[in-house]
């Protein structure tokens, strides 16, 4: 959610800020603004609506004569979308302006105290309290005022702060909300995510919670929360700038669907050595560690949670270890049974998901060992974990995840096979056979995309007027049905739900009427006949049925209006194949219905508030 960009350097700041904010549009927002120091005063320009509104307001930033500034795209949490509630916010005296990502949980108390002292607020936001607190605590030392201010804040925040007394520097702070520092010969940056500054520098610092950054045109100084200097190692971003651009595609989602074969190859191949053994870089789980583990929790949100459901089926089958899958937003509030013999697998694309990070910290406090699967090196979840596995998916810009989900699935397979091998639960021959099949998954995904693109495009045109859709499956098929349903609803705005097929008769079948779309996933051989019976139940009530199944399962044709056949592989890996046409269906349905595919309404890419 939201996006921050800050710059101080040799060049005109406003065009750089606007360009950086444009690269963060994928995060979701409803307003945008920038603050620059011009002739010793803070000049703020902000507007409700798309970034283009702000850009037009300031002529692309060309007329703002300043080499320092902070910018923001806002996704409303406190206060409706409006010009007044847009960031940046300025203190009454005009000395400070701030941008803020996150939520100040104690803002009501802070605001009440400030109002009692005579401060007048101009917005409904929680963020504005920060600007007024800075002014209250300022006694000539900028860093001291920042330190004292953040000591009063509860919640999550990434802050960018400018002060008129210092037209050559700005300060940034990070706690439980993503923020990176970029350094270059032309100036220095802060940003919520790498794409915002990748056109200007590849050299970055990752920040830890509590870090305070003091940025000048030619230097960057980093301190901990007590203002003790912190030394950071410069990291170099290796992926190409073009990886964060559309590259000729109309939408990032389309591009990222088609990038999945490469992303899967890059994630899987380095983890399987020439001897046919799994090498999990960054993981130090020994046989003894796995043997003493009496419970595994998989904790995640959204699509990552659906990966966890696949993980439960797969890990339990291969290791016979009990696995619970929890929504991160619920985990902390149900008093989970966690101890030093618990392994928690945390899944997050960004590594900054607020609920997931909070659940991780709670599990760690209770003694669990933390193994995380993330896509962003140096992210908060990665830094807090005992073991980290990175998916090498590259930047994922579209709000609806595709390649991140697929690479997370591949990591779950590798973890399950790794643990089974360590425990002696799988023979050498079985392991080699499974790994050979897993290495072939990228090729099969590429085949599915090429073969089914015109088919799914045509189906989307047929289905585009529907109001409801229901996804059915059993076992691993049900796990994929959950993700497939989410893909449709989040980008095309069609109401859809996923159900375990056996639960139809317990209420859901009452929703089936003539021409209701039912998507049936039917690849699990041991429950195929039962799934066919469930398909017959909805078909007999007038449903329009689209079935996904493995090649050779022609029996589905008699109860289906349309069938998509998938190449055969180990059934454990079928989720990786099934999900691809479902992503494509969501995408093409959204296109057919005229939706903004990459930026669905009310959604954000990185959910950094609870």
**3-state SS record for 316-376:** HHHHCCCEEEEEHHHHHHHCCCCCCCEEEEEEECCCCCHHHHHHHHHHHHCCCEEEEEECC
* Cβ pair 255, 363 in contact under 8 A: no
Q: Give the residue among 565, 566, 563 at the shortest CA–CA distance from 574.
A: 566
pTM equals 0.79
Task: Collect the ranges in the chain with pLDDT lower than 70.
Answer: 1, 26-28, 239-244, 604-610
The second-level CATH assignment, the architecture, of 3-238 is 4-Layer Sandwich (3.60)
pLDDT of residue 330: 94
Buried b (16+ CB within 10 A) or exposed e, 126-145: bbbbbbbbbbbbbeeebeeb
Catalytic status, residue 312: no
Strand partners, 155: 104
Indicate the CATH number of 246-426 among 3.30.470.30, 3.40.50.10490, 3.30.390.50, 3.30.43.10.
3.40.50.10490
* Cβ pair 96, 68 in contact under 8 A: no
Would you say the CATH fold of 246-426 matches that of 3-238?
Answer: no
Distance CA 66, CA 11 (A): 8
- Sign of the CA dihedral running 586, 587, 590, 591: negative
pLDDT of residue 102: 86
pLDDT of residue 431: 96
pLDDT of residue 579: 98
pLDDT of residue 241: 61
Q: Give the residue among 571, 560, 584 at the shortest CA–CA distance from 448.
A: 584
pLDDT digits (tens, 9 = 90+) for 572-592: 999 999 999 999 999 999 999
pLDDT of residue 293: 96
Catalytic status, residue 605: yes
**3-state secondary structure at position 156:** strand
598: which residues sit within 8 A by CB, 6+ positions away?
26, 251, 252, 253, 397, 398, 399
For 242, which DSSP code? Answer: G
pLDDT of residue 610: 53
Catalytic residue among 2, 163, 251, 293: 2
Q: Give the residue among 546, 487, 490, 486 at the shortest CA–CA distance from 522.
A: 546
For 253, which DSSP code? Answer: H
Indicate the CATH number of 448-594 among 3.40.50.10490, 3.40.1170.60, 3.30.70.100, 1.25.40.10.
3.40.50.10490
Q: Would you list the domain boundaries of the chain?
A: 3-238, 246-426, 448-594
Catalytic residue among 23, 487, 489, 605: 605
User: Could you tell me the CA-to-CA distances from 20 to 53, 70, 119, 227, 241 in Å, in that order?
Assistant: 15, 10, 33, 29, 13
């Amino acid at each position: 959610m939201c996006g921050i960009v800050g710059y101080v350097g040799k060049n005109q700041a406003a065009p750089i800020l606007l360009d950086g904010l444009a690269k963060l549009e994928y995060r979701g927002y409803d307003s945008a603004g920038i603050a620059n120091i011009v002739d010793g005063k803070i000049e703020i320009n902000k507007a409700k609506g798309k970034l283009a509104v702000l850009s037009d307001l300031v002529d692309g930033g060309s007329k703002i004569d300043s080499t320092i500034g902070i910018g923001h795209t806002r996704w409303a949490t406190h206060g409706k979308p409006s010009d007044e509630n847009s960031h940046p916010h300025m203190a009454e005296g005009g000395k400070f302006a701030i941008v803020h990502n996150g939520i100040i949980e104690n803002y009501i108390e802070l605001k009440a105290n400030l109002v009692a002292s005579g401060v007048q607020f101009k917005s409904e936001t929680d963020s504005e309290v920060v600007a007024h607190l800075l002014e209250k605590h300022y006694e000539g030392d900028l860093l001291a005022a920042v330190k004292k201010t953040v000591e009063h804040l509860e919640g999550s925040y990434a802050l960018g702060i400018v002060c008129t007394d210092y037209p050559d520097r700005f300060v940034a702070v990070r706690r439980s909300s993503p923020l990176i520092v970029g350094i270059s010969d032309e100036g220095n940056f802060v940003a919520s995510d790498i794409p915002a500054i990748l056109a200007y520098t590849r050299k970055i610092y990752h920040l830890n919670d509590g870090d305070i950054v003091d940025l000048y045109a030619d230097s960057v100084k980093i301190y901990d929360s007590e203002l003790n200097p912190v030394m950071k190692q410069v990291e170099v971003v290796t992926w190409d700038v073009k990886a964060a651009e559309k590259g000729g595609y109309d939408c990032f989602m389309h591009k990222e669907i088609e990038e999945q074969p490469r992303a899967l190859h890059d994630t899987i191949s380095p983890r399987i050595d020439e001897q046919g053994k799994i090498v999990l870089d960054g993981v130090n789980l020994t046989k003894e560690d796995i043997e003493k583990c009496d419970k595994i929790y998989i904790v995640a949100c959204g699509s990552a949670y659906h990966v966890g459901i696949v993980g439960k089926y797969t890990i339990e089958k291969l290791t016979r270890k009990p696995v619970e899958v929890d929504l991160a937003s619920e985990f902390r509030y149900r008093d989970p049974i966690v101890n030093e013999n618990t392994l928690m697998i945390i899944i997050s694309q960004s590594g900054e998901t607020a609920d997931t990070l909070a659940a991780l910290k709670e599990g760690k406090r209770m003694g669990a060992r933390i193994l995380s699967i993330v896509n962003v090196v140096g992210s908060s979840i990665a830094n807090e974990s005992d073991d980290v596995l990175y998916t090498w998916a590259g930047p994922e810009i579209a709000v609806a995840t595709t390649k991140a989900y697929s690479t997370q699935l591949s990591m779950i397979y590798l973890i399950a096979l790794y643990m089974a091998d360590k425990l002696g639960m799988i023979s050498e021959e079985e392991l080699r056979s499974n790994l050979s099949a897993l290495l072939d998954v990228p090729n099969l995904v590429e085949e599915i995309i090429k073969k089914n693109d015109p088919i799914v495009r045509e189906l989307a045109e047929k289905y585009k007027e529907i109001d409801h859709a229901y996804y059915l499956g059993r076992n691993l098929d049900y796990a994929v049905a959950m993700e497939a349903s989410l893909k449709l609803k989040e980008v095309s705005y069609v109401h859809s739900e996923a159900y375990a097929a056996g639960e139809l008769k317990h209420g859901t079948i009452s929703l089936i009427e003539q021409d209701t779309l039912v998507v049936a996933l039917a690849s699990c051989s041991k429950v195929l006949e039962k799934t066919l019976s469930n398909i017959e139940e909805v078909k007999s009530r007038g449903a329009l049925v689209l079935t996904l199944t493995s090649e050779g399962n022609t029996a589905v044709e008699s109860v289906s209006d349309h069938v998509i056949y998938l190449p055969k592989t180990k059934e454990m890996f079928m989720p990786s194949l099934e999900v691809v046409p479902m992503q494509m269906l969501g995408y093409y349905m959204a296109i057919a219905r005229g939706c903004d595919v990459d930026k669905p309404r009310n959604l954000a890419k990185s959910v950094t508030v609870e």
